[in-house]
Amino acid sequence: MRRGNFLAQTDWSVVEHAYAGDPDVPSSPEILAALLDEDGGRQGMALLDLHNVVHHQGGIYSATAPAVHFVAAVLDDPRTLTLVSPRRGRRDVRVPLRAALLDWLTSVMQHITEPDERRRGFPADVAACRAARPSVYRTAYAMRTDPDPAVASEALGTMLACLLDAPELAHHRAEAAAWSHGHALAGLDKHPRVMAVMSLQSWGYDTTAVMETDPDPVVRAAAALSPANAGSIQGTRALLEVLSTPSAAMRCKRNYPHFGPIFMFNFLPAAIHRATLDHLVPVLDVLLTSAPPIIYVGDWGARLRMKAFPDGFPPVEPLTTAQRTLLDVIAEHCFGTNSPRMWSGGDARMALRDLVPEGAVFDGDLTA
């Protein structure tokens, strides 16, 4: 549908955004029309509304899919060259609205891949956005060579987001991966860069160059997950580094669309598998000292137990120094007086509780 008649031909009365019926919030067609306003200030406000109203907190609404089609259709409009403040990154750096709109498309494409228990949106609305992925991919692909590096980088992020959980588009992975190098990837802010690298490594692509050169420890750790780095000393070091940094505890709370909480589901299991117990125990001591309760989500407890005591517990041979230190760390941080209570059978500490049985304190019925 042509951009000029899209707003007029869409029946906006049957679709809603997050604040449907609120007279103080602009309607979806008003928000979309303002994106192409001659006033740059109104364009900037419309961009905020696109995030906060049409895609509120990552939610998918019945108005989201029509908005996706409109945004994809107007990306090459000269009015999207207006400089605006980006949603992420430095607030003193302005980017073309075109780049910011690609970032919005990326967010929508990522959030529609969330599992049902984490996704905000009715199935029909999510399906409508999923149906838009081929056209969004083609639009982003056309922008990949944009002379503005901000636009080119955001186009790459959108391309990769369109391919998440999309087997019907899997044949595009190779061409998207071919553009995922150098300035295009480096130009993304940290969150979309992590998402891009997680996508590439999950598809089996070699992300060694990113692991070796990226300035951010989370991005380096994501790149270290690539099968190509499974035996890499530098890759193991990247995983241990990100888990032992002062901000690691807070980062545990971060949920990445499609991938979930990568610290507990990806980084920690990979570190347990790859690192020696001597190197792993000091990292766990730091991480578990101030980690929030969510750190105990996942199966890493069982992995850690198998790593430390492969022949069962208690071991036949005398405890090594690393094993003894690990038991002290588990007793203090996992089952100590200040430790969060175990809440369900999915708690990672379930596999560790008999290592220090006197310290295991439960909250609720773990046999249910």
The residue ranking higher by pLDDT, 318 or 182, is 318
Could you count the other beta carbons within 10 Å of the beta carbon of residue 8?
8
Query: 360 and 283 in one domain?
Result: yes
In a domain, 254, yes or no: yes
pLDDT tens profile 278-323: 999 999 999 999 888 889 999 999 999 999 999 999 999 999 999 9
Task: For residue 79, tell me if it sits in a domain.
Answer: no
Give the distance, in angstroms, between the CA of residue 359 and the centroid of all CA atoms in the same chain: 35
Answer yes or no: is 6 within a domain.
Answer: no
Q: What is the mean pLDDT of residues 143-162?
A: 94
What are the angstrom distances between the C-alpha of 313 and each of 52, 298, 319, 322?
52, 21, 10, 15
- The torsion region of residue 121 among left (phi > 0), alpha (psi -120 to 50) and beta comes to left
Tell me the residue range of the domain where 233 lies: 207-267
b/e burial code for range 95-113 (CB count within 10 A of at least 16 → b): bbbbbbbbbbbbbbbbbbb
Q: Are residues 241 and 292 part of one domain? A: no
Structure pTM? 0.86
Residues 289, 240: one domain? no
3-7, 91-95, 118-122, 287-291: lowest mean pLDDT where?
3-7
pLDDT of residue 309: 97
Q: At what angle do helices 123-131 and 64-74 cross, to 10 degrees?
A: 20
Q: Residue 146's pLDDT is what?
A: 94
When comparing pLDDT for 120 and 28, which is higher?
A: 28
- Which of these three, 267, 292, 319, is where a domain ends? 267
Query: Tens of pLDDT along 249-269?
Result: 778 888 899 999 999 999 999
Residue 112 domain-assigned (yes or no): no
Q: Distance between CA 26 and CA 16 in Å, rounded?
A: 11
pLDDT band at 4 (very low <50, low <70, confident <90, very high): low
Please say which residue of 243, 267, 291 terminates a domain.
267
List, as one string, the DSSP characters of 278-312.
HHHHHHHHHHHHH--GGGGBSSHHHHHHHHH-TT-
Q: What phi and psi values does residue 216 have, to the nearest 5 degrees?
A: -100, 130
Say if residue 263 is in the same domain as residue 320.
no
Question: Is residue 330 helix, strand or coil?
Answer: helix
Residues 318 and 259 occupy one common structural domain: no
The reply to whether 308 and 363 lie within a common domain is yes
Q: Are residues 286 and 329 in the same domain?
A: yes
Cα–Cα distance, 205 to 179 (Å, whole number): 12
One domain for residues 322 and 257:
no
Predicted local confidence at residue 90, as pLDDT? 59
Range with the lowest mean pLDDT among 85-99, 125-139, 267-281? Answer: 85-99
Using one digit for the tens of pLDDT, what is the confidence trace for 16-49? 998 988 889 999 999 999 999 999 999 999 999 9
Split at pLDDT 50, 70, 90, the class of 193 is very high
What would the pLDDT profile of 215-236 be if each residue is shown by its tens digit?
999 999 999 999 999 999 999 9
235 and 292 in a single domain? The answer is: no
- DSSP label at residue 62: T
Q: Evaluate whether residue 341 is within a structural domain.
A: yes
**Are 286 and 358 within one domain?**
yes
- The residues, ordered by sequence, that sit 6+ positions from 189 with a Cβ below 8 Å of its Cβ are 86, 88, 89
Same-domain status, 291 and 334 = yes
30 in a structural domain: no
- Asked whether 332 and 312 are in contact (CB, 8 A), the reply is no
The rounded distance, in Å, linking the Cα atoms of 119 and 96 is 29
Provide the pLDDT confidence category of residue 368 given band limits of 50, 70 and 90. Answer: very low
Does residue 29 lie within any of the structural domains?
no
Predicted pLDDT of residue 363: 45
Rounded mean pLDDT, 354-364: 61
Please say if the pLDDT value at position 360 is more than 60: no
Q: Predicted confidence band at 362 (pLDDT cuts at 50, 70, 90)?
A: very low
What average pLDDT does this structure show over 127-143?
Answer: 96
User: Is residue 2 scored above 60 in pLDDT?
Assistant: no
Domain-embedded: residue 337: yes
Whether residue 216 sits in one domain with residue 256: yes
The domain total for the chain is: 2
Q: What is the DSSP string of 236-259?
A: HHHHHHHHHSTTHHHHTTPPBTTT
Mean pLDDT, the chain, as a whole number? 90
pLDDT for the residue numbered 254? 86
